Every structure is written in structure tokens, then in C-alpha cells.
Structure 1
Amino acid sequence: MSQQQEIFQTEASEFEALINNVSELADENVRQRWPSTLQSLSEVLNNELNRANVKDPELADKLTIALGHYFGGRDIYIPTGTKLKSALRNIAIWREYNGRNIEQLASHYKLTERQITEILREQRQAEVKRRQRELF
């Protein structure tokens, strides 16, 4: 157990050192040597932070370094725009459902009643799974 804590402590201290030195690691000349995925991620985060009027010039680089540190080398799936929009739409449908408005939801979201029913079934299963632990 103490060995595991030491590993996490070392990892945390390495990460803290990276974040504390972000100004050295992320200046324009150094950032150009980052892997292209991290460069792109930093640029996207920077643009979104600017749109949100967040005035911290190093925040995008800190977030990029954090994501690289924790997710680097892992095979993760990030949904594409269409998949993400569908997932968010389905959550909205679940939240708007009152037990009697399938027809209205179908009309509003330009889907069939059968599609709405299927979405509600999937969302209900996800809700049950989230609230209840599996027995086995």
C-alpha cells in the first residue's frame, strides 16, 4: 500500500513541477517542438478560453500539459461532432420527457416516435446503471 502511495506522490510531484514551469515549457519556440497533437490541443483550448473571456495566457498550456500527463499514451475515444451532438440531444430528450410528451418530442427534434422511444429506453438504462451498482 505504501508503495502505491509513493508512486502517486512521485507522479504528483512530477506533474506539479511541469505545471510550475509552464512558462519555460510553453513559450512559442518550445511549443513548436511539442508533438503536433499537443500543439493542436493547446490551440483549441486557447481559442475556447479566449471566447469565454478567460484572461490567463498560460491556462491553455497548463491544461494541455495536464491532459498529456494524465492521458498521454492511452487509447481514448473522443466522439466526433455528430456523435457528440446526438448524445447531447438524447440527454436533452430524456430531461424533457414527462411521461406523456413523446409526440411533442418527436416533432420538436424531427425524429419519429419510435426513435424517441428508443432514445428514452437507452437513457433509462443508462440512468439505472448510474444509480445502481451491478451485483456481479
Structure 2
Amino acid sequence: MSTRTDKEDNLELFGYGEVNLDEVAKIVDDEESRWPEAMRQLYSMFRDELEKAGADQRLSISLLNRICREFGGVQLYLPRGRQLESEIQNLLIWHEFTGNNVEQLSRKYDKSMQHIYRVIAKMRHREVKKRQPDLF
């Protein structure tokens, strides 16, 4: 079993054997560097989330590098994520639904009972579609 060094990991991430990710992180944090504010914010968010997950925070540089390569130079609109939040809430409702707890779900999620019924119908339709292909 071979052990990998940080230098080998750095080589894979950036293609340069002498790059030290800790030094790159210091450059990002340096107020005098000319990094765009959006890049600083993304780097900071990645670093914070990786720390929360107990992962190596140096991966934030790799993630930032990937986003820059994929989307660099492109004007990009990111929605606020309300649709994602709604879909996650729908999944929670679906997983908590027992068949006779619509009123409790309505109170818990501060939604009307009609809304809960619509969510259940939508999620049931997805489940059926996932398990049973269309005939035509």
C-alpha cells in the first residue's frame, strides 16, 4: 500500500508539481491580491462547507478551480434556490406521509392540507413513473 504526498495530490489537482495548496489559500485570503470578490466568496463558502463536513478544506481550491474552468468568462445567473428548497420539502413530506397524517404535516410545514395532498399526489406520480415505464 503506497502513501500519497501532498505534492502528488497537488500535481493531480493543478498539473503543477510545486504548487502548495496551503500557500494558494493564503493568496486567496490576502486582501491585496487581485482576486475577484465572487471567487473569494465561493472559496470561502466551499472552505466552510468542507470544514463542517470534516473534509480537507484544501479541496476548496480544487472546487474553485473547477468552477473557473467550467464557467470562466460566462455570465451566469444563479437562482436563489427556492425551487430546490421546495423539492427538498416535498421529499420530506413524502417520506413522513403515513396515509393518515395530512393534518399534522399541514401544521408542521405551515402549508394547507390541499397543498399537502398535491405534494403527495405529485410524489406518488413520480414514484409510479420511476417504477413503471410508459406504455406508449
Q: Which residue of 2 aligns with 1:43?
A: 44
The code of the aligned residue for 2:50 comes to: L
| TM-score w.r.t. length of structure 2 | 0.61
Could you tell me how far 1:59 is from its partner in structure 2? 1.5
1:66 and 1:84 mapped to 2: Cα distance?
23
Q: Which residue of 1 aligns with 2:118?
A: 118
Specify whether residues 106 and 27 from structure 1 end up closer, same or farther in structure 2 by C-alpha distance, changes over 3 A only: closer
Could you tell me how far 1:131 is from its partner in structure 2? 4.6
> 1:33-88 CA deviation, whole Å, 9 max, x = no partner?
3443222111111122223343x3421111222233345438564543x5443332
Q: How many residues align?
A: 120
Alignment check: 8 A CA contact 1:103 1:113 kept? yes
Please give the secondary structure, in 1, of the residue aligned with 2:99. coil
1:22 and 1:133 mapped to 2: Cα distance?
51
Specify whether residues 23 and 115 from structure 1 end up closer, same or farther in structure 2 by C-alpha distance, changes over 3 A only: same
1:68 and 1:104 mapped to 2: Cα distance?
45
Specify whether residues 36 and 103 from structure 1 end up closer, same or farther in structure 2 by C-alpha distance, changes over 3 A only: same
Specify whether residues 124 and 51 from structure 1 end up closer, same or farther in structure 2 by C-alpha distance, changes over 3 A only: same
Alignment check: 8 A CA contact 2:28 2:35 kept? yes
1:134 and 1:117 mapped to 2: Cα distance?
24
Specify whether residues 99 and 47 from structure 1 end up closer, same or farther in structure 2 by C-alpha distance, changes over 3 A only: same
> 1:9-37 CA deviation, whole Å, 9 max, x = no partner?
xxxxxxx4626546399343367434432
Larger radius of gyration: 2
Q: Which residue of 1 aligns with 2:24?
A: 26
Higher relative contact order (CA 8 A, sep 6+): 1
Q: CA RMSD in A?
A: 3.6
2:124 and 2:71 mapped to 1: Cα distance?
30
Q: Which has the higher helix share?
A: 1
Q: Which runs of 5+ in 1 are unaligned?
A: 1-15
Please give the secondary structure, in 2, of the residue aligned with 1:40. helix
1:114 and 1:98 mapped to 2: Cα distance?
16
Specify whether residues 112 and 132 from structure 1 end up closer, same or farther in structure 2 by C-alpha distance, changes over 3 A only: same
2:76 and 2:64 mapped to 1: Cα distance?
17
Q: Which residue of 2 aligns with 1:106?
A: 106
Specify whether residues 101 and 17 from structure 1 end up closer, same or farther in structure 2 by C-alpha distance, changes over 3 A only: closer
